[in-house]
Amino acid sequence: MNKLQGQVAIVTGGGQGVGLGVALSLAAAGANIVITGRQEDKLRKAADTISAHGVEVLTIVGDTRKRASATETVAATIARFGRLDILVNNAQSSTPGVALENIDDATIALTLESGLLGTLYYMQAGFPHLKQRGGSIINLGSREGIHGGAGFGIYSATKEGIRGLSRTAAREWGKYDIRVNVICPAALSPAAVEYLDKHPDEAKAYLAEIALGRFGDPQQDIGPIAVFLASADSRYLTGQTLNADGGQMML
C-alpha cells in the first residue's frame, strides 16, 4: 500500500476494462491518476470509482490516433500535477475475427493508429518529463501477437510492433532511469467479453489453454502487475514482456 504515494500516472483507455483495472490498482497504491478515452461519460464514471481511493483524478477526452491528443494530455497532466512518473499505454481499437486476406485499409488504419502510433505519440510526449526523475512506461501487448492468433492479423502486427518499440525505448532511455516493459494480459475487458460471447467455441478452446483455468480480472489480476512495474520493486527490470495470462503462454 502507498508504494506509489505522490506519483502521477497517465492511463490511456482508462475508462473501462484493463485500463480501468490498472488505474484502480495504481490509485490504491497512492498514485494520482489521469485517464483518457473517447467517451466522456465512461471517464466520469471511472473517475468516481478511482477517486474513492483518496487520490486526485483528471479525465481527458481524447483519441490516441491523434498526436495532438497525446501532447495535450501530457501538458494538462503537468499543469495539474507538475510531474509525470508512470505512463500506461493501454488504449487500442481493433476489428477482430477478420481473415488476413480480407483486412481492408480502414481496419489497418484504425488498429495501427490507435495502438502502435498512439503508444509512440504518448511515449514521445511523456519523455521530456519522465526523464527528469526517471519513471516507468508500461505498454500493453497481446498473446495474439506472440502466438499469431487466427483472425487477428493486423492486431497481432500492431501488438508486436508495440513490443519492438518498447525494447528500443528501454535501450535508448535506460540512461535516464526510464524503464519500459510490456504486459500481455488474458483479461475480460468489454471487447474481449463481446468477442468471446460471439465465438463460444473459440472461447472454450482459449480457456482450455489457460493453466489456472480462468480469465483474468482487470483489477485483481492485471492491476497488481502494473503496480509492480510502476514501483521501485521492479527497479532493475526493463525491456521485458510479462505474460499475465494464467499460464497460457509459457516462454
> What pLDDT, in 10s, does the model give residues 177-193?
999 999 999 998 887 88
* Alpha helix positions (H), 58-199: 67-81, 105-112, 118-130, 143-147, 153-173, 190-198
Burial of 93 (0-12, 13-18, 19+ CB in 10 A): buried
> What pLDDT, in 10s, does the model give residues 225-247?
999 999 999 999 999 999 999 99
Would residue 122 show up in a list of annotated catalytic residues for this protein? no
Checking if the pLDDT of 135 tops 80, the result is yes
* Nearest-angstrom CA–CA distance, 132 and 29: 22
What sign does the CA torsion over 23, 29, 34, 40 have? positive
Which of 121, 122, 155, 206 is catalytic? The answer is 155
> What pLDDT, in 10s, does the model give residues 3-58?
999 999 999 999 999 999 999 999 999 999 999 999 999 999 999 999 999 999 99
Q: Using 50, 70 and 90 to split pLDDT, how confident is the model at 88?
A: very high
Q: What cell numbers appear for 121 in the block?
A: 505519440
**pLDDT at res. 193:** 83
Task: Specify the amino acid at residue 17.
Answer: G
Global confidence as pTM: 0.95
Q: Which domains does the chain have, with CATH numbers?
A: 8-236 (3.40.50.720)
Q: What cell numbers appear for 230 in the block?
A: 510502476
* Nearest-angstrom CA–CA distance, 21 and 23: 5
